[in-house]
Homo-oligomer: A and B are copies of this chain.
Amino acid sequence: MSGPDFQKNPLIPAIAQDFATGDVLMLAWMNEEAYRETLSTGRVCYYSRSRKKLWRKGEESGNVQELREMRFDCDGDTLLVKVNQVGGAACHEGYRSCFFRRLSADGLTFEIVGERVFDPAVVYGKS
């Protein structure tokens, strides 16, 4: 295996991890074009499944992800993208990580464990 296998899976999940802190920031998807663009530009580009087009992370908010390191897993079907998260927040809700909801032990409730870095209403001009 020499890299992610886009023949087998045209869309591959990509885990974004903060290079400095190790925080898992988000999970998104890459097709081969997004993957190649990410490597050639050094800025992380995903493929938006809902919008069905390339998603240059931070294009609107300015919170781009600078590529520090890219790994692929033993099955060639998942990517791990280590990044520098410009602006400090990966989540469109203004949190550092999209995983800011921690479940209780029984899974019935959750608490917010992240800190809000920006106000989405200001950044995206909507509430």
Interface of A toward B, CB cutoff 8 Å: 1-3, 13, 15, 17, 21-24, 26-27, 35-36, 39, 69-75, 78, 80, 91-93, 95, 98-103, 105-107, 109-110, 113
Contacts of A2 in B (CB 8 A): 109-110
Report copies per complex. Answer: 2
- A21 to B23 alpha-carbon distance, docked (Å): 10
Contact partner of A70 (CB less than 8 A), chosen from B1, B35, B80, B102, is B102
Whether the Cβ atoms of A74 and B92 lie closer than 8 Å is yes
Whether the Cβ atoms of A39 and B80 lie closer than 8 Å is no
Q: Which of chain B's residues has its CB closest to A109's CB?
A: B2
Whether the Cβ atoms of B78 and A100 lie closer than 8 Å is no
